[in-house]
Structure 1
C-alpha cells in the first residue's frame, strides 16, 4: 500500500493509481491536466476573476465586431476581417492566461529580469528599425506579425517592480540603482517613440507599487516631480502632443482640425442618450469617428448602449478592481501582494484612462481599452496580467504546487 505524507496534496484514488493498459481515462484526469488544482479547491476570488475575465473577453469581441464591421467592409472587403483576427489573438492570449495560472509566481519573478531587459532592447529597436505610423515608431514588423514591445513589456514591469519594491529595505544600493536605471531607461525610450501615454502609465504604475512597497516619501516625491517635469518637457518638445493638449481644453475651437477626434467622440457619446441607439446601430462609426476600433472604441459603445450601458461598464470595472484588491490583501508574501496590486492597477487604470480620453476628461492619448480595443499585443499583455492575478489568488488561498507523483512500485 502506498502512503501519503501529511501536508501533501489530496489525491483521488484514480490519480494515485498508475495508468494501466486498457484503463479508461477518468473525467477528473482531464481536469487535472488543465487545472493546477481541482476546481473545487479554487478560492472564491479566483473563480470570480476567471468568470469576469471571460465575460470581459466576450463583451470585447461583441463591441469590436460592431465597431469594426462597417470600416472593415469598406476597406478590406470583409466585414468580419478585424473580428476574425481578434479571435485568433484571443485564443492565443487565453493560452498565455492559462500558462500564467499553471505557473507559480516565484517562477514568473525569476523570469521577469531577463524578459524586462529583452523588452527594453526591443523598445530601443523600434527607434532604429521600427515601423512608423502617424509619426510614432512603436512597432516591429516580423513578416505578417506586428509587435509593439511597449505593450508586451507591461506584465514584466509589474513583476520586476514587485520583486524590487517588496524587498526595498533589504536589497543593496547597487541593485536598487540598477533596476531604477532600467525602469527609467525604458520610460525614456517609450517617450522617444514618442508614446507619452504609455510612458506616463508605466511611471505611475511603478510609483504606486513603490508607495505600496514602503519606499520612503522623499524618494517618492522626488520621482513624482521628475516625472512631471519629464512629461511637461515631452509636451513642449513634441508639437503634436502640445496641439492635443490645446485641443483638449477647447475642442470646438477647431472642430474640423485638431479637435476633430474629440468632437466626434463627444457627439457619439451624447447621441447615445439614456439607453443608447442599440447594438450595431451607431452612426458615428460609419464615417465620422476616427480610430473607432482602438483608442475611441468606448465612444461607439456609449452611443449604442447609452448612459446606462456606460454605467454598467464602470460598475464592472469597479467590481473587478474590488476583487483584485481583495486578492492583494489576502496574499501571504509582499511579492505576491505587489504583483496583484500592480496587475489590478494596470488593468483598471488603463481602462479608466481610455474612457476619460474618449469622454473629454483627459487629453487624447493612444491607450487601448483592455480586452476590447483591436490589437493582438494589447490583448496578449492584458490576459497574461489577468492570469498572474488569478495565480496570486490561487496561491493566497493556501494552495501550493502539487508534489511530483511517484509511480507506485508493485508489492513483492
Structure 2
C-alpha cells in the first residue's frame, strides 16, 4: 500500500502529500470527520431541495427553471472557501478579528436603516451593484466569537471593557430590532445568553437578562403592528385564512399533504402557486410535502445528531474560549434550523429566519458555512492539531521521553 505521507524518524511527525489541507485528514479526530461529512451532506441536500422548491417560480419569473439553483451553487462554492478559511486559520486569530468585524457589521446594520433596500416593510439589505448584502446574517458568527471572547474571561477583565462590549451587543440587537427584524434579534440575543450561561455567569444575572429580553420583545410586538398581527394570526391562522394567516395555512396544508412517505421529490403542488416564500422561509414545508413524515423525522434526527457531535466537540476542547465557540456555533446552526421548522409547522409565530444551508440566499450560506468551519476548527484544536504542527506519533514520543539521557 502506498503511504499517505512521509514520516520523520526523529520527530515522529507526518508530512501530508496534500498541502491544500490545513491538517492531514487522516489525523483529524472522529468528530471532525463526521462533522465534515454531515456538512457536505447538508449542503448537497440543501441544493437538491432548493432546486425542487424554486424551479416553478424561477421558470415563471426569470424564464429559467434553474436560475436560483445556479446562483445558489455559485454562493455555495464561495461559502465552502470560507469554511476552508475557518478551518485553516488559528482560532485565536478569529477571536482577535471578531471585535472589529462585529463593529463593522453593526455600522452596516445601521446603514440599512438609512440607505437600505426595503422589502415588505423591512430594511435589511444593502445593495452594491448586483450583490445584496444582509449584515444581520453576516455578523452572526462574529457575534458568537466575540461573545466567547468576552464571557470566557469575564472574571479577569475590567469593568470598562464589560460595559463597552455589553453596550455594543445592546446597540447591535437594538439596530436589528429597528429594521424591524425581531426574529434575528431574538436569535442573536439567545446566542449571547446561552454563551454567557455556559461560561458560568451567576444565575441571578442570567434570569434578570432573560426577563429584560422578554420585556423588550413584548414591547416590540406591542409597538409594531405587523409583528402583533403575526402573533395573533399564529394563534388562529384559520380565522383569516385568505389574509394574515395565509402563509401559515398554506404551509400547514403542504406539510399535511405529505402524509407518511410524501408526494415524492419534485412533486409538491403547494409550491406551484399557493405557498409563498417557498424557497426561503417556508422551504421546509416543501420538503415535508415531498418527503412526508418519515423524511421530516429523519431531518430532525440529523439535526439532533449534528447537535450531539457539536457538543462532543465542545467537551473535548482544551480552553474555555474554544468550548464557548463550539457551543455557540452548534447552537446557531441547529437552533436556527429548529426555529425555522417550528415556524413552518405552526409551533411559533411567522418569522424571517432562513433554514441554514437549505434556504436560498448567499448571505445565509456564507454565515452558516463559516460557522461550520469554526466548529471544525474547535474540533481540530481540541485534539491538539495545528496547521504546520502535525500531531506527533504518541508511541514514539513516549518512548523518546522515557529514554535515559546520555
Q: Same fold (TM over 0.5)?
A: yes
Question: Is the counterpart of residue 341 in structure 1 residue 327 in structure 2?
Answer: yes
Partner of 1:407: none
SS in 1 for 2:155: coil
Question: Is the counterpart of residue 272 in structure 1 residue 275 in structure 2?
Answer: no
* Aligned counterparts of 2:230 and 2:237: Cα–Cα separation in 1: 9
* Aligned counterparts of 1:262 and 1:132: Cα–Cα separation in 2: 23
* Aligned counterparts of 2:23 and 2:282: Cα–Cα separation in 1: 40
| Residue ranges of structure 2 left out of the alignment (5+ in a row) | 1-7, 391-406
SS in 2 for 1:294: coil
Partner of 2:142: 156
Partner of 2:367: 381
Question: Is the counterpart of residue 259 in structure 1 residue 262 in structure 2?
Answer: no
Question: Is the counterpart of residue 133 in structure 1 residue 111 in structure 2?
Answer: no
* Aligned counterparts of 1:363 and 1:190: Cα–Cα separation in 2: 18
* Aligned counterparts of 1:322 and 1:279: Cα–Cα separation in 2: 28
Alignment of 1:198-347 (within 5 A): 198-347=184-333
Preserved contact between residue 9 and residue 403 of structure 1 (Cα < 8 Å): no
Preserved contact between residue 88 and residue 387 of structure 2 (Cα < 8 Å): no
SS in 2 for 1:169: helix
Q: Over residues 7-47 of structure 1, what are the superposed CA-to-partner deviations in whole Å (9 max), with x where a residue is unaligned? A: x67144xxxxxxxxxxxxxxx53x1x211221111000000
Preserved contact between residue 313 and residue 379 of structure 2 (Cα < 8 Å): yes
Partner of 1:10: 13
Root-mean-square deviation (CA), in Å? 1.4
Partner of 1:119: 105
Q: Over residues 110-164 of structure 1, what are the superposed CA-to-partner deviations in whole Å (9 max), with x where a residue is unaligned? A: 1111000000000001000000000000000000000000000000000000000
Paired positions, count: 384
* Aligned counterparts of 1:387 and 1:100: Cα–Cα separation in 2: 4
TM-score norm. by structure 2 comes to 0.93
Partner of 1:410: none
Relative to structure 2, which stretch is displaced further, 167-176 or 79-88?
167-176
SS in 1 for 2:132: strand
SS in 1 for 2:154: coil
Q: Give the direction of change, closer, same or farther, for the CA distance of 1:215–1:93 in structure 2 (3 Å limit).
A: same
SS in 2 for 1:312: helix
Shift, 1:268, TM fit: 0.2
Q: Over residues 343-374 of structure 1, what are the superposed CA-to-partner deviations in whole Å (9 max), with x where a residue is unaligned? A: 00010000000000000000000000000000
Partner of 2:353: 367
> Paired residue for 1:58, among 39, 44, 48?
44
SS in 2 for 1:119: helix
Preserved contact between residue 9 and residue 402 of structure 1 (Cα < 8 Å): no
Alignment of 1:14-33 (within 5 A): 28-29=16-17, 31=18, 33=19
TM-score norm. by structure 1 comes to 0.91
Shift, 1:238, TM fit: 0.6
SS in 1 for 2:334: helix
Preserved contact between residue 274 and residue 307 of structure 1 (Cα < 8 Å): yes
Alignment of 1:59-138 (within 5 A): 59-138=45-124
SS in 2 for 1:138: strand
SS in 2 for 1:360: coil
* Aligned counterparts of 1:204 and 1:304: Cα–Cα separation in 2: 32
* Aligned counterparts of 1:124 and 1:5: Cα–Cα separation in 2: 57
Q: Give the direction of change, closer, same or farther, for the CA distance of 1:237–1:332 in structure 2 (3 Å limit).
A: same
Shift, 1:5, TM fit: 11
* Aligned counterparts of 2:342 and 2:327: Cα–Cα separation in 1: 22
Partner of 1:36: 22
Shift, 1:403, TM fit: 5.1
